[in-house]
Structure 1
Amino acid sequence: MPERTLVVGTSGFLGSEVTRQLRDADTDVVGTVHEGKVPISGVETVGYDFWNDDLGTILDTEGIERVIFVATVERGDGRNRGLFDRSLDRFVDACRDRRVVYVSTDAVFDGADGPYDEGSDPSPASEYGRRVRAFERVLEDHCPDHCIVRPSYLYGFSGGTLDPRLAATRERIRDGETVAYFEDAYKSPISIGDAAEIVTDLTRHEVTGVVHAAAPRTSIHEFHRAAMDALDEPAGRVVPESVPPESDYPRDTSLVSGRLESVLGADPGPVSEALERSRP
């Protein structure tokens, strides 16, 4: 019987793209859904609540060998840190003998010393970032066959729908607005499609530890400007502004990877290239 893969968070923007790619590659995939989320066509789903349910029962019942965690439970939704830690321990205890790929984020860095590679010491500045880093640490300590994937600034089309970040910019421009973004704050934006391909490939791979899913470093202003140009919108309406001196906004959480190309042969391209390739 072929190995089965469980996607925790299959209804999310990245989770749905990961699930579609697995389905289209004829992978035996199961997705979790929560609170009435709409399942993906042609994909088996099971109900799962990170905060209350024991995943071990699902893994055993469904014969799951590989787990991809792409749900955004780290934001908490009003739940306290103690409950998060207990839920995380329960999840990891269920998965300790399986392959686990966890989709993390550049929020584990405070942005003071970017760009960051896989060997950089995490320095989360927000509660969200601290919870993400806690998830990483527990996996590192208790799941030998784990891989942590850190993307930065996900964007693009998934299922024909543009991501909320760029969709909001496009809507404001179409309304005739001029939109300002920081020219001195930096990310490594990676398309939903490229990130999903990296995640699915690493699920089948034997590599462990951290892998940065990093595309070329760019300012937030240039990212939105290039994206609007690729979408045939008037990019001149995207104008630069500077991060206010008193702001605690992270200046540079861009990522570089010493492992992505050597392990997978992947080299994600710039914003314009990725959008032009994925437009419906």
Structure 2
Amino acid sequence: MKTVLTTGSNGLLGQKITEKVLAEGRVKLIATSKGANRYPATNGYEYAEMDILNPEQVKAVVEKYKPDSIIHTAAMTNVDTAEADKALCHQLNVDAVQTLLSLCEEKNIQLIHLSTDFVFDGANGPYKEQDAVNPLSYYGESKVLAEELLKNSTAKWVILRTILVYGITNDMSRSNIVLWAKGALEKGLPINVVNDQWRMPTLAEDLAEACLLAVEKNAEGIYHVSGKDYMSIADIVQKVADYWTLDKSIINEVSSVGLNQTAIRPMKTGFVLDKTIRDLGYNPHSFDEGLSVVDGQMVVRNK
């Protein structure tokens, strides 16, 4: 059984990987994150505190546990924050990757790196893995820089690009499109939602599964991982309203220009998933199925 170390294990994806490993076995898991462990169960895996901005600590943890693969989920993912604090974004999204990459080269460890649809400009989506990147934001640029580090390294690397990850877990530090929309609509206050940006939202469980498949299949190269449904952000919010029978009349559809966000977003991304389905056996949920998964977890949590 392979030993897998995850970074950012307190985040949504990190917790879903832990959840999956505890339910299914498959790998020996070392979960790492900055600060104390926020996952409620503590048996069946090991947890180590690890700040990815501390190269000495990263080296010590990797040398102690000797993983076969590292799944690198930790990153700055808030697009506007990244635009406002480019230096910190570069440290988290580029420098930290170089730290891990150097160790992976030295110790023959597979590095599975999470990237994003924001490496593309959104002019010609949905995108295939080999399509040319052209980021519009510093977040996207930082992810391109990290991808280049991997491509130019001698390590065994995998880049999993994903889109708009949603789901629910314990003690979440950040919201996501589904939880935000549901929460806002339940408050009954009017919300502005863009109708000219198109995405393929990704259930966190599906992305966690893709990460483990990449380990098990000894994958190398770039893979696109998302949900299977292509829709506008407004459509996503409308579907959330429909699923939980919430008032759609308070959804105010606006153009991207009307939102006046700090960072520019690509208009139409989306992925062609054929390679990931063929090579990894990836089988994502539909968006409706994903909402049902989230709803089921909410019911369990509220008991």
TM-score (norm 2): 0.82
Report the CA distance between 1:33 and its aligned residue.
2.0
CA RMSD of aligned residues (A): 2.6
Distance 1:200 1:83, change over 3 A: closer
**Structure 2 match to 1:258:** 274
- Specify which of 36, 49, 58 is matched with residue 47 of structure 1: 49
Partner of residue 205, structure 1: 217
Between the aligned partners of 1:223 and 1:166, the Cα distance in structure 2 is 8
Residue 158 to residue 127, structure 1, CA distance change in 2 (3 Å): same
* Counterpart position of 2:253: 240
Aligned to 1:107: 118
Q: Is the 8 A contact 1:39 1:45 kept in 2?
A: no
1:88 to 91, 94, 97: 97
> Retained in 1: the 8 A contact 2:12–2:168?
no
Shift of 1:140: 1.7
- The percent of aligned pairs where both chains have the same amino acid is 20
C-alpha change, 1:243 and 1:86, in structure 2 (3 Å) is closer
2:140 to 129, 135, 139: 129
Question: Displacement, 1:45?
Answer: 0.9
Kindly tell me: are residues 132 and 237 of structure 1, through their superposed partners in 2, closer, same or farther at Cα, counting changes over 3 Å? same
Q: 2:70 corresponds to which letter in structure 1?
A: V
Tell me the TM-score normalized by structure 1.
0.88
- Per mean C-alpha deviation after superposition, the further-off stretch among 22-31 and 184-193 is 22-31
| Residue number in structure 2 paired with 1:31 | 31
Distance in 2, Cα, partners of 1:224 & 1:118: 28
Q: Say whether residues 1:61 and 2:34 are aligned partners.
A: no
Cα distance in 2 between the residues matched to 1:38 and 1:90: 24
Instruction: Give 3-state SS (helix, strand or coil) of 1:120's partner.
Output: coil
The CA distance in 1 between the partners of 2:192 and 2:183, in whole Å, is 14
The Cα shift of 1:267 comes to 3.4
- Between stretches 75-84 and 236-245, larger displacement belongs to 75-84
Q: Look up the SS of the partner of 2:131 in the other structure.
A: coil
* CA positional deviation for 1:238: 2.9
Higher helix share: 2
Aligned residues: 279
Distance (whole Å) between structure 2 residues aligned to residue 154 and residue 106 of structure 1 = 11
| Most deviating of 187-196 and 72-81 | 72-81
Q: Against the structure 1 CA distance between its residues 212 and 120, is the aligned structure 2 distance closer, same or farther, given a 3 Å change threshold?
A: same
| Residue identity matched to 2:51 | D
**C-alpha spacing 1:195/1:236, structure 2 compared with 1 (3 Å):** farther
Query: CA separation of 1:206/1:84 partners in 2, compared to 1, >3 Å: closer, same or farther?
Result: closer
* Counterpart position of 1:189: 201
The 3 A distance-change label for structure 1 pair 160 and 194 is farther
SS at match of 1:200: helix
For 2:245, the aligned partner's letter is D
Paired position in structure 2 for 1:151: 162
1:156-185, Cα deviation, whole Å (9 max, x unpaired): 233597943322222221222232322221
